[in-house]
């Protein structure tokens, strides 16, 4: 009996996108970043390393610090600074996650119980503050005023984005522009800052700094769009959190914006009841998924992500080919490939 092997020409031609390129590129420095992260979560107040390391060791990809190291490599930087800034970026991100979980009443994070479920909201708020303070201390140690300005501005813009998201929540009149402003702030700004400080430390031209920033900004938007699509399409195991979390929290993400725009009166009433009045019953998530599918809202969200991903890649046009550029381009494909 002959065995017919399945043949998939696309899979043959393009290997599964992965983070392998960037992981290999920054491996040595990431070891130092991880050691720094470990030492700077230390405190005589034992609850601090417990809470911080619960989240930090929970298997995040550490994409943002890798981006700082990789854009540093792309810019020919050879000093110690990007290691400290990469750890700062990861601390800023971790602080945001701890505070987000309190803001969103989340029970799960990266497939584990959220820190607030184990140590309480109080500890999540305060350990987040500790990590933010440590992030600033590390960046101050690097002593580059422009990098300090970029990262401290990012801290402000992230908080603004989060508050804007809060203000837009439970309001189905939120439009695409308002949604984009939220995700630029809450997600893309830190990607942008993480990528901009590499060429800044390397003393590259303003045009090159702006190019790396644009890469990070567009990548960050694409990343969040994919996340928002996954919230209605991924499986719990893939995502490390529950499908439909955004729906239950009344978060107005792009899939919702698009579906509401195309809704008839009955559908609009459904979205209003579920998202504005938070009256969600049996079968409502399924109905929401069916409506999102019928209006092509998930597919279109992914399509936008591809567009921003292409813009991220294009931003690096001016840099010459090499392992760093190759790795950064692969990151874009990987982020978008998380959703099918």
Question: What residue ranges bind a second copy (CB under 8 A)?
Answer: 43-48, 95, 99, 102-103, 121-123, 125-127, 129-130, 132-134, 136-137, 140, 143, 145, 148-149, 152-153, 155-156, 158-160, 162-164, 166-167
CB 200 within 8 A of CB 150: yes
3-state SS of 155-181 is HHHHHHHHHHHHHHCCCCCCCHHHHHH
CA angle 168/240/8 to nearest 5° reads 105
In order, the DSSP letters of 209-264 are HHHHHHHHHHHHHHHHHHHHHHHHHS-HHHHSS-TTHHHHHT---HHHHHHHHT--
The distance of closest approach from Cβ of residue 269 to a second copy in the complex, given in angstroms and rounded to an integer, is: 26
* Cβ–Cβ < 8 Å for 172, 179: no
Strand partners, 109: 112
Alpha-carbon span 214 to 243, nearest angstrom: 31
Residue 167: CB minimum distance to a second copy, A: 5
Closer residue to a second copy, CB minimum distance, 70 or 135:
135
Give the C-alpha separation, 54 to 115, whole Å: 7
Tokens of 134: 């440590």
Q: Which residues contact 26 (CB under 8 A, 6 or more apart)?
A: 66, 69, 70, 73
Task: Print burial letters for 133-154: b (CB count within 10 Å at least 16), e (below 16).
Answer: ebbbebbeebebeebbebbbeb
How far CA 65 is from CA of 12, 29, 192, 195, in Å, comes to 32, 10, 12, 9
Q: Is 108 helix (H, G, I), strand (E, B) or coil?
A: strand
To which H or E segment does residue 112 belong?
A: strand 112-113
Least separation, in Å, of the C-beta of 303 and a second copy?
28
Q: Which two tokens stand for residue 118?
A: 């184990």
Shortest gap between Cβ of 7 and a second copy (angstroms)? 52
Identify which of residues 8 and 46 has a Cβ nearer to a second copy in the complex.
46
Nearest to a second copy of 38, 148 (CB atom):
148
User: How many angstroms separate the Cα of 140 from the Cα of each of 49, 61, 263?
Assistant: 22, 25, 51
Expressed in angstroms, the distance from the first to the final Cα of the chain is 34
In the complex, the smallest distance separating the C-beta of residue 169 from a second copy, rounded to whole angstroms, is 9
Give the nearer residue to a second copy in terms of CB position, either 104 or 231.
104
If the CB atoms of residues 103 and 239 are measured against a second copy, the closer one turns out to be 103
Q: Residue 121 Cβ, how far from a second copy at the closest point, in Å? A: 7
Which residue's CB is nearer to a second copy, number 121 or number 293? 121
Give min distance, CB of 58 to a second copy, in A.
20
Nearer to a second copy, 143 or 322 (CB): 143
Q: Could you tell me the smallest distance in angstroms from the CB atom of residue 234 to a second copy? A: 25
Residues 113 and 155: their CA atoms lie apart, in Å, by 26
Taking the least distance from each CB to a second copy, the nearer of 56 and 211 is 56
The minimum distance between CB 336 and a second copy, in angstroms, equals 29
Q: Closer to a second copy by CB, 136 or 289: give it.
A: 136
């Amino acid at each position: 009996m002959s065995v017919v092997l399945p043949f998939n020409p696309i899979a043959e031609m393009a290997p599964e996108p992965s983070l392998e390129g960037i992981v290999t590129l920054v491996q040595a420095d990431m070891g130092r970043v991880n050691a720094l992260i470990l030492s700077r979560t230390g405190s005589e107040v034992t609850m601090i390393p417990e809470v911080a390391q619960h989240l930090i060791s929970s298997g995040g990809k550490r994409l943002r610090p890798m981006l700082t190291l990789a854009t540093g490599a792309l810019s020919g930087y050879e000093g110690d600074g990007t290691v400290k800034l990469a750890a700062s970026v990861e601390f800023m991100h971790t602080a945001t996650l701890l505070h987000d979980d309190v803001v969103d009443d989340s029970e799960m994070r990266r497939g584990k119980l959220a820190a607030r479920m184990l140590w309480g909201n109080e500890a999540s708020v305060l350990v987040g503050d500790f990590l933010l303070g440590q992030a600033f201390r590390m960046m101050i140690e690097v002593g580059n005023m422009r990098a300090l300005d970029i990262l401290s501005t990012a801290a402000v813009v992230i908080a603004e984005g989060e508050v804007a998201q809060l203000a837009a929540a439970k309001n189905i009149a939120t439009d695409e522009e308002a949604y984009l402003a939220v995700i630029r702030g809450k997600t893309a700004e830190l990607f942008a800052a993480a990528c901009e400080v590499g060429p800044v430390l390397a003393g590259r031209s303003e045009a090159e700094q702006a190019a790396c920033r644009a890469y990070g900004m567009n990548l960050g938007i694409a990343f969040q769009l994919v996340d928002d699509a996954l919230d209605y399409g991924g499986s719990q195991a893939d995502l490390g959190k529950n499908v439909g979390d955004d729906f239950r929290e009344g978060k107005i993400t792009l899939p919702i914006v698009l579906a509401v725009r195309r809704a008839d009166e009955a559908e609009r009433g459904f979205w209003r009841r579920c998202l504005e009045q938070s009256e969600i019953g049996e079968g409502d998530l399924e109905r929401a998924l069916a409506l999102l599918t019928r209006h092509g809202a998930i597919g279109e969200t992914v399509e936008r992500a591809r567009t921003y991903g292409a813009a991220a890649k294009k931003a690096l046009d001016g840099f010459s080919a090499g392992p760093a550029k190759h790795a950064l381009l692969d990151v874009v494909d990987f982020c978008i490939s998380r959703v099918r």
